[in-house]
């Protein structure tokens, strides 16, 4: 296709590296293909409300190291299930015809949608309505299938590792059990990588329902060895054997309505009751999403952004650039959203954790 003008948006949760993608998309589109580029504001909400701005070469200069996204984002703007209020009541409607019409009015022939599984689901629906869309895989959770890594993950793990490093000193000084709760939804990638990198003593992930007795034994074993403190890294989606997730709240307007959080308080209270050791809980929350991307994420995001423009030019709509064995390859978005990428029980990294003396709660 002869693409003269393309759009780019970032949807879903923010994370470090989005601006690096935008930087690569705009510069490659302008320099290599002499395209005009339109930035759609606040994700699919901007597409529904027809809010956008032209992105020139100088508009993206200097944004590569910035966290967040210069275009804004939204995780409550599904065009097929769009929230609005009528007579004071929250309602939902199908605003996809409006999104399609605004796409046409912007005079763009293609769109690069930066996001995770929710963004890819929405993109698939809009592709079915005739829009030309290419995806870019983004999530700190690293739970998007068909790609080895998503950008944002390395930056989040870096934050978790630094936090654990800092907590080690206060845990050791006060002889406490410090529990660090991290994001990841229903996948334990952040907890496992961050826990190993930070030297956690216990790591609890959603893929392995935990047994509190195993956790007590691990902590007591450390005490008997003269180590009067422990670091417990808890994924927000971790759950006990026979139990369920701890849900902090439900957000009706969001694509992912369930907000997990608080499992570390449950675990911490039980540890204190059974071991007699003082516990403290630190929930890192949105600290993991903020700040500058790591060099690895800057490079990966740039590779994804440049590859996405090539996919647009080649007319490979419905695809996204994925990382496989350090190569960038095109993969259908519909394949990536068929299931979440979680940690296999045969994953070698679990073996690394166990051989390092880390308790995984089983």
Residue 189: predicted pLDDT? 98
pLDDT in tens, 252-283: 656 666 677 789 999 999 999 999 999 999 99
Is 24 inside any structural domain?
yes
Judge whether 307 and 29 are in contact, CB under 8 Å: no
**Do 221 and 315 share a structural domain?**
no
User: Hey, what are 293's tokens?
Assistant: 């991307």
Give residue 244's pLDDT band: very low, low, confident or very high (50, 70, 90): confident
pLDDT at residue number 252: 60
Catalytic residue numbers?
Answer: 141
Q: What is the pLDDT of residues 2-44, one digit of tens each?
A: 899 999 999 998 999 999 999 999 999 999 999 999 999 999 9
- Put the strands of the sheet holding 5-10 in their side by side order: 52-55, 36-40, 5-10, 110-115, 133-137
Mode of pairing for the β-strands spanning 177-182 and 279-283: parallel
CATH of the domain at 219: 3.40.50.460
Token pair, residue 104, equals 């046409």
Do 179 and 201 have their domain in common? yes
Is position 362 within any domain? no
At residue 247, the pLDDT reads 78
For 296-338, the pLDDT digits (tens) are 999 999 999 999 999 999 999 999 999 999 999 999 999 999 9
Q: Give residues with Cβ within 8 angstroms of 151, minimum separation 6.
A: 15, 16, 17, 20, 21, 137, 138, 293, 297, 300, 301, 304
Identify whether residues 16 and 141 lie together within a single domain. yes
Torsion of CA 23, 26, 30, 36, to 10 degrees: -160
- Provide the domain count of the chain: 2
- The helix (run of H) or strand (run of E) holding residue 37 is strand 36-40
Q: Which is it for strands 202-204 and 230-235: parallel, antiparallel or unpaired?
A: parallel
For residue 246, pLDDT beyond 80: no
pLDDT digits (tens, 9 = 90+) for 33-92: 999 999 999 999 999 999 999 999 999 999 999 999 999 999 889 999 998 888 889 899
Tell me whether residue 304 is in a domain: yes
**Residue numbers of the domain that contains 243:** 156-288+344-355
Do 208 and 194 belong together in one domain? yes
60 within domain boundaries:
yes
Question: Phi, psi (5° rounding) for residue 131?
Answer: -85, 150
Pair 100, 212 in one domain: no
Question: Is 1 a residue whose pLDDT tops 90?
Answer: no
Assigned domain for 77 exists: yes
Kindly report, residue by residue over 120-162, the tens digit of the pLDDT. 999 999 999 999 999 999 999 999 999 999 999 999 999 999 9
| 133 and 244 fall within a common domain | no
* CA–CA separation, 25 and 30 (whole Å): 9
295-313 and 18-33 helices cross at what angle (nearest 10)? Answer: 40
- Share the mean pLDDT of the chain: 94
Q: Where are the alpha helices (DSSP H) in the chain?
A: 18-33, 44-49, 96-105, 117-128, 153-174, 189-198, 212-224, 263-275, 295-313, 333-336, 348-355
The answer to whether residues 349 and 211 belong to one domain is yes
Q: Give yes or no: residues 181 and 82 share one domain.
A: no
Same domain (yes/no): 139, 58: yes
Indicate if 10 and 136 belong to the same structural domain. yes
**Rg for the chain (alpha carbons), in Å?**
22
58, exposed or middle or buried, with CB in 10 Å at 0-12, 13-18, 19+? exposed
The enclosing domain of 12 has a CATH number of 3.40.50.450
The Cα 61–Cα 335 span in angstroms is 34
For residue 349 the two structure tokens come to 């990294």
d(CA 291, CA 158): 11
Say if residue 281 is in the same domain as residue 296: no
Query: What's the whole-number mean pLDDT along residues 243-252?
Result: 70
Residue 324 CB neighbours (<10 A): 12
- DSSP H or E stretch at residue 52: strand 52-55
What predicted TM-score, i.e. pTM, was given to this entire model? Answer: 0.93
Q: How far apart, in Å, are the Cα atoms of 157 and each of 15, 148, 270?
A: 12, 15, 27
Q: Is the separation of the CB atoms in 146 and 331 below 8 Å?
A: yes
pLDDT reading at 250 higher than 80 = no
Which residue shows structure tokens 């059990």?
177
**Domain for residue 329, yes or no?**
yes
Q: At what angle do helices 295-313 and 153-174 cross, to 10 degrees?
A: 160
Looking at the fold, whether 198 and 141 belong to one and the same domain comes out as no
What's the rounded Cα separation, in Å, for the pair 32 and 35?
Answer: 8
- Answer yes or no: is 251 within a domain: yes
């Amino acid at each position: 296709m002869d693409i003269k003008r393309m759009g780019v948006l970032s949807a879903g949760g923010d994370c470090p590296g989005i601006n690096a993608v935008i930087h690569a998309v705009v510069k490659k589109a302008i320099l290599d293909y002499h395209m005009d580029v339109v930035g759609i504001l606040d994700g699919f909400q901007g597409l529904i409300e027809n809010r956008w701005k032209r992105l020139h070469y100088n508009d993206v200069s200097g944004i590569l190291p910035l966290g967040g996204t210069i275009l804004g984002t939204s995780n409550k703007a599904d065009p097929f299930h769009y929230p609005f209020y009528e007579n004071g009541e929250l309602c939902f409607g199908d605003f996809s015809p409006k999104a399609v019409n605004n796409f046409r009015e912007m005079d763009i022939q293609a769109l690069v949608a930066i996001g995770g599984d929710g963004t890819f689901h929405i993109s698939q629906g809009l592709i079915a309505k005739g829009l030309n869309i290419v995806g870019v895989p983004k999530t700190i959770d690293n739970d998007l299938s068909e790609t080895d890594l998503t950008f944002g993950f390395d930056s989040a793990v870096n934050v978790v590792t630094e936090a654990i490093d800092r907590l080690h000193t206060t845990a050791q000084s006060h002889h406490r059990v410090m529990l660090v709760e991290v994001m990841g939804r229903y996948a334990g990638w952040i907890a496992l990588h961050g826990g190993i990198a930070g030297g956690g003593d216990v790591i609890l992930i959603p893929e392995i329902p935990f047994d509190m007795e195993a956790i007590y034994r691990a902590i007591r074993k450390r005490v008997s060895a003269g180590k009067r403190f422990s670091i417990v890294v808890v994924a927000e989606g971790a759950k006990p054997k026979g139990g369920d997730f701890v849900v902090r709240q439900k957000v009706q307007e969001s694509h992912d309505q369930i907000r997990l959080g608080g499992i570390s308080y449950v675990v911490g209270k039980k540890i204190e009751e059974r071991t007699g050791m003082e516990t403290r809980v630190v929930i890192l929350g949105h600290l993991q999403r903020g700040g500058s991307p790591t060099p690895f994420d800057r490079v990966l995001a740039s590779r994804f952004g440049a590859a996405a423009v090539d996919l647009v030019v080649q007319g490979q709509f419905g695809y996204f650039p994925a990382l496989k064995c350090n190569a960038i390859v095109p993969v259908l978005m519909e394949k990536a959203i068929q299931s979440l990428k979680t940690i296999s029980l045969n994953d070698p990294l679990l073996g690394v954790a166990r051989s390092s003396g880390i308790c995984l709660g089983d």
